[in-house]
Structure 1
Amino acid sequence: MFDLILHAIPVFVICLVLEAASFYFLPDDDELGYEVRDSRTSLTMGLGNVFINIGWKLVVLAAFAAVYLIAPVHLPADNPLTWVALFFADDFAYYWYHRTHHTIRIFWASHVVHHSSEYYNLSTALRQTWTPFTSLPYWLPLAFLGFSPWMILLAQSWSLLYQFFIHTERVEKLWKPIELVMNTPSHHRVHHGSNQQYLDKNYGGILIVWDRLFRSFAPEGERVRYGLTKNIETFNPARVATHEYAAILRDLRAARTWGERWGYVAKGPGWQPAPEGSLDGRPAVSVGR
């Protein structure tokens, strides 16, 4: 099975070296550049993700194939319109995958890995989860719509490939029509910001139109502060991969009711139960986000 991301690794490495060199020879006081320990952690997380996906993608492929077999139609791969439809379907699925992985804590525990760096450069793009298992349901409908499993996997890969290049401070805002439609470095810097006005914004993969449509868009204005609202203060890959799962377990042990347990797992990051006498829990306050 051809894996676009594996074949793109040499390109990633070359671009990392070039970006790091640009910070060395053309430093900018407003940009953070690279930090050796942080970048090493990001690269380790990326390699771990690649290793885990060697086995996990076989499960994903089998699930897509099973659903594809019962699909009422099978869309022809030799029709250009099939690929146009796949592009939009994949990007739409990614938007909702991404959005719910910010707003449901058990999903956030997987995705938080990608937001744990306080730097923003191409190495940050490689800081990926070691628990990718919650993404599968979001793309299963594409198989039922008649897209072949290999086509869905390819679409996921080209989305990740595109998103690698928007993890940079070296590119300012682009031409306005591009900024209007496409996810750009400027839009994605906002997404990685821990500033209050930037929290949980700009979920798009390749397109930014879904954010504009579903009112989750924010433009880049104030200098972006990267990382979490409560940073984890570690470069240990194992802790980066598991710290939010550990926090959920601690909260579950301290929970007094099943309602509280449900809230700690299924509500937003930072959700806390209401004080005694109140009827409902307080909303998420972005603790750890």
Structure 2
Amino acid sequence: MELGFDPGLVLLALAPVFLGCVAWEAWYWHKRGIAKYTMVDTLSNAGLALLHQGADLLANLLFIKTAYTWVHAHGLQLLPISWWSLLLAFLLQDFLYYFFHRASHRVRWLWASHVAHHSSERLNLSTAFRQSLTYPISGMWLFWLPMAWLGYSPDLVILVVGLNLAYQFFVHTEAIGRLGWLEQVFNTPSNHRVHHARNPQYIDRNYAGVLVIWDRLFGSYVPEVEAPRYGIVRQIQSHNPLRLTFHEWSDMFRDAWRTRDPRHFWKPPEWAESQAKQQRRS
């Protein structure tokens, strides 16, 4: 399925909508005298977004779309384009996104990219821009290969991924409370506030992209009860986009080199600290 436009540009095309919503939310909190935004944090988020978008466009051009095209050509070709196959594409991508997101919290190689998104101690719509340019390196794109293998065109795969991420922009806010029965089905602002919190009971919960039913099915769902405290366990005190992008990569390689233990690449992020504590006790 050829779309007639570059699907990798869908998030850039929606930038005016995103920026308008950020401006509205900043005004909303300013009128109430509540400091949910700071200039330095917002500019840091914008810098990370530009680096991420540039890296994604370059990676799509150099190898990602080629990989999807090869897998599509050698796949099952099971899915003729129809309304139901397009609906299935959204559901399948959201299902695969759940496992990508869960792995990004439990595999340090993937966390090295994803940590940038969680490193702000604020949660507002601009936080959604806070992404890493290293996702093509850590392998986010590999999680969508099953879609190409089943018969979805590379353009459609890239488009659906972009639309899923576009939806997630709107759940990065404290301006919207709980939404009744929608909390049971969809990733909502309340559900996603839990995901960004570092309260012990909220860590590594609510991985949903669009549908929270995956969290309910696989036991990772927790409702918002206690007020969230945002950031990461080992908080980095920096607004430098390059420092925010590469600090965990640096720590990971340093730990692996120092201990001569390659498990630092695939163990959970907290494994290195638990190993260090065991060594201090022994």
Q: What's the TM-score, normalizing by structure 2?
A: 0.92
**Bigger shift: residues 131-140 or 107-116:** 131-140
1:84 aligns with 2:87: yes
1:135 aligns with 2:134: no
1:37 aligns with 2:48: no
* Equivalent runs, 1:71-110 vs 2, <5 Å: 71-77=75-81, 79-110=82-113
Partner of residue 122, structure 2? 119
Unaligned runs of 5+ in 2: 1-5
Partner of residue 11, structure 1? 17
Which of 185, 189, 199 is 2:189 aligned to? Answer: 185
C-alpha distance in 2 between matches for 1:23 and 1:277 = 48
Q: What's the TM-score, normalizing by structure 1?
A: 0.90
Which of 242, 249, 264 is 1:245 aligned to? Answer: 249
1:148 aligns with 2:146: no
C-alpha distance in 1 between matches for 2:123 and 2:242 = 21
State the 1:263 CA deviation: 2.5
Deviations 1:152-208 (A, max 9, x none): 111101101100000000000002x21100000000000000000000000010000
C-alpha distance in 2 between matches for 1:90 and 1:165 = 18
- Return the letter of the residue paired with 1:93: L
- Return the letter of the residue paired with 2:256: L
> In 2 relative to 1, CA 246–208 (structure 1 residues): closer, same or farther, beyond 3 Å?
same
How many aligned positions are there?
269
Specify the SS of the correspondent of 1:171.
coil
C-alpha distance in 1 between matches for 2:77 and 2:233 = 46
Deviations 1:69-96 (A, max 9, x none): 011225222x101011111100011000
C-alpha distance in 2 between matches for 1:246 and 1:135 = 19
- Return the letter of the residue paired with 2:270: G
1:170 aligns with 2:185: no
Deviations 1:107-140 (A, max 9, x none): 1000000001000001100000110121121100
Deviations 1:29-74 (A, max 9, x none): xxx5101111110010001111111211222111111100011225
C-alpha distance in 2 between matches for 1:54 and 1:162 = 20
Specify the SS of the correspondent of 1:198.
coil
Specify the SS of the correspondent of 1:107.
helix
Contact 1:68–1:144 under 8 Å retained in 2: yes
- Return the letter of the residue paired with 2:116: V
* Equivalent runs, 1:209-220 vs 2, <5 Å: 209-220=213-224
1:207 aligns with 2:211: yes
User: Identity percentage over the alignment?
Assistant: 38
C-alpha distance in 2 between matches for 1:277 and 1:19 = 49
Specify the SS of the correspondent of 1:220.
coil
The 4+ residue runs of structure 1 with deviation greater than 4 A are none
Bigger proportion of residues as helix: 2
- Return the letter of the residue paired with 1:268: P
Contact 2:256–2:263 under 8 Å retained in 1: no
1:270 aligns with 2:270: yes
Partner of residue 22, structure 1? 28
C-alpha distance in 2 between matches for 1:151 and 1:254 = 44
Partner of residue 195, structure 1? 199
**Structure having greater relative contact order (Cα 8 Å, sep ≥ 6):** 2
Specify the SS of the correspondent of 1:230.
coil
1:70 aligns with 2:74: yes
C-alpha distance in 2 between matches for 1:85 and 1:243 = 38
State the 1:148 CA deviation: 1.3
State the 1:276 CA deviation: 8.9
Partner of residue 286, structure 1? none
C-alpha distance in 1 between matches for 2:100 and 2:213 = 15
- Return the letter of the residue paired with 1:89: L
Which of 46, 49, 52 is 1:46 aligned to? Answer: 49
